[in-house]
Each structure stands twice: as C-alpha cells, then as structure tokens.
Amino acid sequence: MSNITENAPILQVTDLYVAYGPILALHGISLEVHKGELVSICGVNGAGKSTVLKAIAGVLKPRSGSIRFKGKDVTGWKPEQLHKHGMALVPEGREIFPSLTVEENLRLGAFGRYQARRFAEDLEDFFTLFPILKERYHQAGGLLSGGEQQMLAIARGLISHPDLLMMDEPSLGLSPNRVDQIFELIMELKSRGITILLVEQNAQRALEIADRAYLFSNGRVEYAGRPQDMAGKVDITSVYLGGQKGGDVE
C-alpha cells in the first residue's frame, strides 16, 4: 500500500518552531511528504495540526526551522507566492467566498496558475467529481450547504492543479453521510495521483486512508510512520482522546 519513493520528498519540513506571540505552538516539527502520497496529521485540539499547515502555506511565519517545497527553500514565502509555486491550502472552516458565485470561487482558484482556456476544459472534469457544483454554478457560495461549501473549497484548491494539496479538517462540522462523501472524494483524488497532506480530527477515518501518518501532541511529533504499525507502538487514546478505542465505524 505505501510506496515511499527513493526520490527527494516534494515537501520537507525540518525542525519547525512556530509561536503565537509568546506561546510556542510547534516545538521542532519535522515531516515530509513524497509525490503521490496521502499523509495524515492527527492529534487532539491544540496539538498544532492546523498551525503546521498554516506555517507551510505561508500564513504563519515560523520562528525557526526550514520548509523545502519541490526542492526549493520556501521558508518565509508569502501565501500568494506559494500558491503560484503549486501549493494549495483548503483552509479550516470551509473558507469559501460567500458573496461570490460558485463559478467565481472556482475562477479564483485558477488565477496565476494557468490560462482561462484550460479552466473551461477542466470544468467538465470537475463536474463529474462534484456534480453539485454544476447544479449551483451561478449561485452565491454562501447559499450552499456546509457539505457543498466544503466540496467547493476542495474544488477551488484542486483547480490550480497543485503539486501539493493540503486540507485542514475537511470533515469538521459535517453530517455523517457528508463525511463519507468527503472521504470518498479524498480517496478518488489519491487514486488520481494527487499528493495530499490531510489534517483530521477524525483519526479513525484519516488513518484508514493514509499512506503514512503523523501523530501530533502538544506541538511535537509523537509518532510518524505507517498507520497499520501505529496501533502496536503508541497508545492512541492516551495521545488522542477523541479516538474510539478499537471502534471501527463501518
């Protein structure tokens, strides 16, 4: 299942420290993502999962440490530069643009990355992945339901053809069957060869689909490796209180 390539990782984070004012949120995080991999970051609230994504995407400035993306040192780059360089972040809380139409939301994702002509071609493909977006193409994003907004947020990230797609809590606040849809979608994206870094509270589901996983606790990496090896090595419930011990949902 896991096929870690010998090549250099597409994303390499080394010894990253990030602070909110005086409070240190990340204490020397190191992680890497290889091309075509689906890597999950799990952990309890406040473990630093979202912080690390924000730091990688350039929204937060790291205090120290380095971030290499596609072989380049991108530490300290601005979010807009990183977007142009092929990094897409689907932020937490379905941050779509509510007053803009679905079409405009999608067009925004494509800016700076490629021309309008390819956008039209891609749309057809997108509508097979996200049929709901075709139905609501001319509606304001704010009128969509929570699950639909999440679909739109992911579609907006995808339409830039990113080399790395980062998703921050895509299942947060959604109804159970919407959560199923989101995870099916993530599986579909993975099968298409898209490199994904996924932050999820729903550890059970996230570990099921991941090639590799990082377990965060208090801003440190508690465990890194294949999810199937994880059970024996760490007591998940001690690190991650939200996980159901041995409870397989399906």
Q: Which of residues 58-117 bind other proteins (CB under 8 A)?
A: 59, 78-80, 83-84, 88-89, 91, 95-100, 104, 107-109, 111-113, 116-117
* C-alpha pair distances (Å), 110 with each of 117, 155, 239: 11, 10, 39
Q: State the minimum distance, in angstroms, from the CB of residue 171 to other proteins.
A: 19
Sole binder of other proteins in the list 57, 196, 203, 215 (CB under 8 A): 57
Q: How far is Cα of residue 131 from the mean position of the Cα atoms in its chain?
A: 22
Q: Which of residues 9-38 bind other proteins (CB under 8 A)?
A: none
Pick the closer one to other proteins by CB: 15 or 95.
95
β-pair partners for 199: 41, 168
Q: How far is Cα of residue 212 from the mean position of the Cα atoms in its chain?
A: 14
Name residue, tokens 């001690």.
238
What is d(CA 208, CA 194) in angstroms, rounded to the nearest whole number? 17
Q: Which of residues 139-158 bind other proteins (CB under 8 A)?
A: 139, 143, 156
Total chain residues near other proteins (CB under 8 A):
33
Pick the closer one to other proteins by CB: 82 or 215.
82
Q: Residue 195 in 3-state DSSP?
A: coil
What is d(CA 214, CA 224) in angstroms, rounded to the nearest whole number? 4
Which residues would be at the binding site for other proteins (CB under 8 A)? Answer: 57, 59, 78-80, 83-84, 88-89, 91, 95-100, 104, 107-109, 111-113, 116-117, 120, 135-136, 138-139, 143, 156, 160
